[in-house]
Amino acid sequence: MLTQTTTRVLEPSDLDAALAVLDRDPVANAFVTSRVQVAGLDPWRLGGEMWGWYEDGALTSLCYAGANLVPICATPRAVRAFADRARRAGRRCSSVVGPAEPTAQLWRLLEPSWGPAREVRSHQPLMVTDRLPDPAEVTPDPYVRRIRKDEMDTIMPACVAMFTEEVGVSPMAGDGGLLYQARVAELVGSGRSFARLGPDGRVLFKAEIGAATPHACQIQGVWVDPEHRGRGLAAPGMAAVLRYALADVAPLVSLYVNDFNTAARRTYQRVGFQEVGAFMSVLF
């Protein structure tokens, strides 16, 4: 029997079918799910297109094509179809990121026409927890709190420093940082930006809950001021953010981390995060 397959750009009327695919892996798909739940599938509101892969009339795989190219529940056949579409469209994204296996396959197919990448991070452990750490091991930092809307000037330099250190380029390049500042403001405004401030008002530790759905959320942007590293701020700070996340956002909390960042991985393990998979990022 012949199997009919096709890809197409999804439309707002495809929302329920797309959410059903995203719900198959609420942890790995938290970033895209959170955007779709807010913006739907309209490209203008979503900030990109959602491509769908159909087999026998059923939507089985997705690929978000915006500032990032993200394969979602993508089978090998779906990845090949998404790669063909991406090649035809040309590179418009700043990264390819997603679960390691389909992302690696996608990059192998795209690299001859899109490469070389500025950096490839082939194994980024995906970690999850559903509970606070044992207080005998790590006590949440009582000085970590939500950042207020009137504290944008306080948190912004730390956010820029974190992004530049993590990604290797400043988020203030290109458009002067307008999009990045808008994203930081969105997180602050929604109560998902957290920090510990020193006596002089400078940020010593910060982190955000970047993606949030009813099933899972994702911590991102974890950063300690370089002058205060090695002083035991990271684990209590993470425990404090985790407490907020579990109480106010979702029953599962995730993050992904570079495999070479052994200090961060040890911190997350101390707080109770366990490795459940891996992501991969290709940076341009």
Q: Are the beta carbons of 271 and 133 closer than 8 angstroms? A: yes
Query: What is the DSSP track for 64-78?
Result: EESSEEEEES--HHH
| Nearest by Cα to 204 from 154, 250, 241 | 154
Confidence of residue 174 (pLDDT cuts 50, 70, 90): confident
Residue 2, pLDDT above cutoff 70? no
Three-state DSSP class for residue 114:
helix
**What are the residue ranges spanned by the domains of the chain?**
6-116, 144-278
Indicate the SS3 state at residue 134: coil
pLDDT of residue 175: 83
Same fold yes or no, 6-116 and 144-278: yes
- Note the pLDDT tens digit of each residue in 25-61: 999 999 999 999 999 999 999 999 999 999 989 999 9
> Domain 6-116 carries which CATH code?
3.40.630
Q: Structurally, what CATH architecture does the domain formed by 144-278 represent? A: 3-Layer(aba) Sandwich (3.40)
Q: Which residues contact 162 (CB under 8 A, 6 or more apart)?
A: 206, 221, 222, 223
Half-sphere exposure of 284 (CA within 13 A, CB side): 16
Please say if the pLDDT value at position 1 is more than 60.
no
Give the pLDDT confidence score for residue 3 in this predicted structure.
Answer: 55
**Eight-state DSSP code of residue 148:** P
Q: What pLDDT is recorded for position 177?
A: 86
Q: Which residue has the tokens 């944008």?
A: 152
